Amino acid sequence: MTNLPVLVLNQNYEPLNICRARRAIVLLFQGKAEMLENGSGFVHTTSEIFPLPSVIRLAGMIKRPRPERKLTRFEIFNRDEHTCQYCGKQSHQLTLDHVIPRNQKGQHTWENIVSACVPCNRRKAGRTPEQAGMRLRHIPSRPNGSLPFYIPFHYLQAKSEWQKYLGQ
């Protein structure tokens, strides 16, 4: 139970990180954070019972630089919510597809790469979606820079109480 994920917010409610419940309980006990959302369950000690937090807010402000998100497979899959952008099938068996193929001078950029399932990627082959008779569900774009760190997609689905703090 102490390995459950906890969303850590800065003093101004900006998402900073994801930590484990054990670390969050230590921060709460030391007075360095406050609990905003109660998780599911409790931690029992010999003399006390602590609720498991789901979202905590730090007591002090943490300044950190805003790094630009890197173009990686995981970031593309996270942006596309692990969904094929041609057929809409949600899966973890996805590939990357260049909308305008590299052999037709397509660039390796956020605006030209989408998630695709293996059958759709094979069907499209080295053609544009128009040439293959396929349509994109969403036009690919650079993700907004609101979150400076990666949140696994399954956390976004399972932790509904995080949505109001993530602004998604």
**92 or 167: which carries more pLDDT confidence?**
92
Which residue segments constitute the domains of the chain, with CATH numbers given? 5-65 (no CATH), 73-132 (1.10.30.50)
How does residue 164 score in pLDDT terms, banded at 50, 70 and 90?
A: confident
Mean pLDDT of 29-42: 89
Provide the 10 A C-beta neighbour count for residue 89.
Answer: 14
Q: Which residues contact 57 (CB under 8 A, 6 or more apart)?
A: 9, 10, 11, 13, 33, 34, 36
Q: Are 80 and 73 in contact (CB under 8 A)?
A: no
Q: Tell me the percentage of the chain whose pLDDT exceeds 90.
A: 54
**35 or 153: which carries more pLDDT confidence?**
35
Report the distance separating Cα 151 and Cα 133, nearest Å: 34
pTM across the whole model: 0.58
**64 or 108: which carries more pLDDT confidence?**
108
74-120 pLDDT per residue, tens: 889 988 989 999 999 998 899 999 999 999 999 999 999 999 999 99
| Among 127, 121, 113, CA closest to 77 | 113
Q: How far is CA 99 from CA 8, 35, 57, 63, 117, in A?
A: 36, 44, 41, 38, 14
Torsion of Cα atoms, 155 then 157 then 160 then 161, to 10°: 10
Q: Which residues contact 128 (CB under 8 A, 6 or more apart)?
A: 99, 100, 101, 104
pLDDT-wise least confident of 32-36, 43-47, 147-151, 155-159: 147-151
